[in-house]
């Protein structure tokens, strides 16, 4: 991978132009019009400022493809004075620095601006691309550095701010944000939002569409298109149980409400932990609650990530490793240890597969500063699953009777702060390592945090139910039993995933046909199975699956589910040609983040 040059004026966070040692945003006031015909947000962003350097007279913000009409300095009385500004040339990764020159350290500035129709953090769907087919849909995805494509701000997780927003939308559509949402709000085209707790920019979120609401508990509800809302509410009916279970472990839920917005299938991620309004993929709504650990994961972010945040993306394991650990504890509490064990085995299996493809430097939890890198491009299972595995190791060494209070105190101590790995380590040493000498050594901490791979002393997750799955697969591969004779009735999604993902890299057409006739993998509506089955068919030359693969790749935009198949197709000339043709059909319905990922995959393969 060719790395771009570090922005010449990057200070503090190398993936942001903000000079946070000089001035920081304290609060944001948005006033926006949503124009579906133009695929554009337009209006003003008023930024309240906290000056850190008494001599500073310059405010530098992150933008990407924004049109800046004017900038005004607002004095203590609110009087607006035109301010001089410059917009730097566009960098492919980081966009353009907006530099505002001021005559004095004013308390706030107001920027009048408009977004680009191709804003990387927004997806505009036509009515035809929605379930209802009658009304358009908009949703944002700000993580990691896409907030700058729809709001001019300091787009770094190291800066936290409160916000209010007035949003005008076409009548009969509902707007929701990562803020207070009123399910009884009249659909009159005018919405006001308040987020009174300080959040980083990547947790800014907005969606507009034909949204119905279904309550699932005293502080939970599901928002979705009318045809999806009842089904999604049934799938997520245990959300309140999850909140209660997490509170028992780690303290009171700090955000008031926890609602879930189920988005159209083009959403590029499984979920996004926007506070008070998780954005979720419809691919987890399968009718049997087998994939609701995604809700556990996004809920866990309410403590790990949203409450205690990585200060830059090089320490993303602080967000995702802690969250994956808490997710597992929630699943265990609500659904039992057996399910948690199965999911941990699956996660660790996937991590080991991915580690074989990563450079050693990308296998570390404590990454080097990510100068010149796109945080979207370097995400892997390492911060999620290696991070979780490390925390499980600490739990095993210190015992839950000591580790659970430590995690709870960690969330309380660093609440509403952005921190780095060194701060975590210092707290760990103070609260656990020095209090219980001999439990964990510095060499072991280094092996987990600062060295590639998984330490030799790590204890892998195990599952008794998977032992039966592994035995059935082995007997079938050995010819001892036919696929139709395998006693698979009642297998969960996790058991099917285990069966498929541990098959050999390639099978012959006869074997794949036998499996398909027995289990109907081709055409499955379960994305977790599909993301493992389709790459196997591609590697094995099982062209009978191609029509279903095309439908799968066009119908879903969730990167985790579809990228393995795109990568498998891109590996051969014939597959690449097929993939290129399918991408031409899929691209109009993809989110910009997914489009970028697939484009990179196909171009990288073409150059080999």
- Which residues are part of the catalytic machinery? 298, 384
499 Cα distance to chain centroid: 27
User: Of the candidates 179, 279, 166, 163, which has an alpha carbon nearest to the alpha carbon of residue 591?
Assistant: 279
**592: Cβ contacts below 8 Å, ≥ 6 apart:** 118, 119, 120, 121, 122, 123
CA–CA distance from 238 to each of 308, 328, 490 (Å)? 25, 15, 21
Residue with tokens 């911060």: 383
**Spatial contact of 420 and 312, defined as CB atoms under 8 Å apart:** yes
User: Of the candidates 147, 117, 135, 357, which has an alpha carbon nearest to the alpha carbon of residue 226?
Assistant: 135
User: What are the residues facing 161 on neighbouring strands?
Assistant: 199
Burial class (CB in 10 A: 0-12, 13-18, 19+), 269: buried
Which pair of structure tokens corresponds to residue 321?
A: 């490793």
3-state secondary structure of 160: strand
CA–CA distance from 219 to each of 216, 276, 281, 330 (Å)? 8, 10, 21, 18
Which pair of structure tokens corresponds to residue 173?
A: 């559509």
User: Of the candidates 491, 489, 494, 556, which has an alpha carbon nearest to the alpha carbon of residue 527?
Assistant: 556
Element (DSSP H or E) covering residue 607: helix 592-607
Distance linking the first and last C-alpha atoms of the chain: 13
The Cα–Cα gap between 198 and 407 comes to 21
**426: Cβ contacts below 8 Å, ≥ 6 apart:** none
The total number of residues written for the chain in this structure: 608
Pairing of strands 308-310, 417-419: parallel
- The DSSP symbol for 450 reads T
The Cα–Cα gap between 206 and 179 comes to 9
């Amino acid at each position: 991978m060719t790395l771009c040059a570090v922005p010449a004026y990057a200070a503090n966070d190398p993936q942001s132009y903000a000079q946070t040692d000089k001035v920081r945003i304290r609060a944001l006031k948005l006033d926006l019009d949503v124009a579906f015909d133009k695929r554009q947000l337009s209006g003003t962003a008023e930024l309240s400022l906290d000056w850190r350097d008494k001599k500073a007279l310059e405010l530098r913000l992150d933008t990407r493809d924004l049109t800046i009409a004017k900038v005004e300095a607002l004095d203590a009385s609110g009087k607006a004075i035109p301010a001089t500004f410059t917009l730097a040339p566009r960098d492919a990764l980081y966009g353009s620095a907006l530099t505002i020159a001021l005559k004095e350290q004013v308390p706030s500035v107001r920027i009048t601006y408009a977004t680009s129709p191709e804003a990387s953090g927004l997806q505009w769907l036509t009515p035809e691309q929605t379930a209802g087919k009658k009304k358009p849909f908009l949703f944002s995805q700000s993580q990691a550095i896409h907030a700058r494509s729809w709001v001019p701000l300091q787009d770094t997780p190291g800066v936290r701010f409160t916000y209010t927003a007035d949003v005008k939308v076409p009548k009969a559509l509902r707007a929701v944000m990562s803020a207070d949402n009123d399910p009884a709000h009249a659909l009159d085209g005018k919405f006001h939002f308040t987020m009174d707790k300080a959040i980083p920019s990547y947790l800014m979120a907005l969606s507009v569409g034909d949204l119905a609401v279904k309550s699932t508990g005293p502080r939970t509800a599901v928002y979705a298109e009318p045809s999806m809302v009842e089904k999604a509410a049934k799938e997520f009916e245990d959300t309140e149980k999850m909140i209660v279970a997490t509170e028992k472990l780690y303290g009171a839920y700090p955000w008031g409400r926890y609602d879930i917005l189920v988005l159209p299938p083009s959403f590029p991620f499984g979920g996004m932990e926007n506070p008070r309004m998780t954005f979720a993929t419809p691919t987890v709504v399968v009718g049997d609650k087998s994939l609701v650990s995604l809700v556990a994961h996004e809920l866990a972010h309410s403590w790990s990530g949203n409450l205690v945040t990585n200060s830059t993306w090089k320490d993303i394991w602080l967000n995702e490793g802690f969250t994956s650990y808490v997710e597992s504890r929630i699943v265990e509490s609500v659904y039992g240890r057996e399910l948690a064990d199965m999911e941990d085995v699956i996660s660790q299996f996937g991590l080991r597969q991915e580690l074989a493809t990563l450079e050693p430097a990308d296998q570390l939890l404590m990454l080097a500063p990510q100068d010149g890198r796109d945080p979207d491009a370097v995400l892997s299972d390492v911060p999620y699953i290696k991070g979780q595995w490390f925390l499980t190791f600490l739990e095993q060494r210190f015992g839950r009777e000591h580790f659970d209070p430590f995690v709870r105190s960690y969330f309380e101590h660093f609440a509403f702060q952005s921190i780095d790995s060194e701060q975590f380590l210092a707290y760990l040493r103070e609260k656990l390592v020095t209090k219980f000498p001999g439990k964990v050594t510095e060499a072991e901490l280094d092996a987990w945090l600062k060295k590639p791979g998984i330490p030799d002393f790590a204890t892998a997750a195990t599952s008794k139910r998977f032992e039966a799955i592994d035995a059935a697969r082995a007997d079938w591969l050995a010819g001892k039993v036919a696929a139709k004779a395998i006693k698979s009735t009642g297998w969960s999604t996790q058991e099917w995933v285990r069966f498929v993902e541990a098959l050999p890299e390639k099978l012959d057409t006869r074997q794949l046909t036998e499996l398909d006739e027995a289990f109907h993998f081709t055409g499955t509506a379960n994305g977790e199975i599909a993301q493992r089955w389709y790459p196997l068919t591609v590697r094995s030359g099982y062209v009978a699956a191609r029509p279903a693969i095309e439908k799968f790749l066009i119908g879903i935009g969730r990167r985790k589910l579809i990228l393995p198949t795109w990568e498998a197709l891109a590996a051969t000339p014939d597959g690449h040609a097929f993939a290129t043709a399918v991408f031409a059909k899929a691209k109009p319905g993809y989110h910009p983040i997914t489009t970028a990922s697939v484009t990179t995959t196909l171009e990288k393969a073409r150059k080999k």
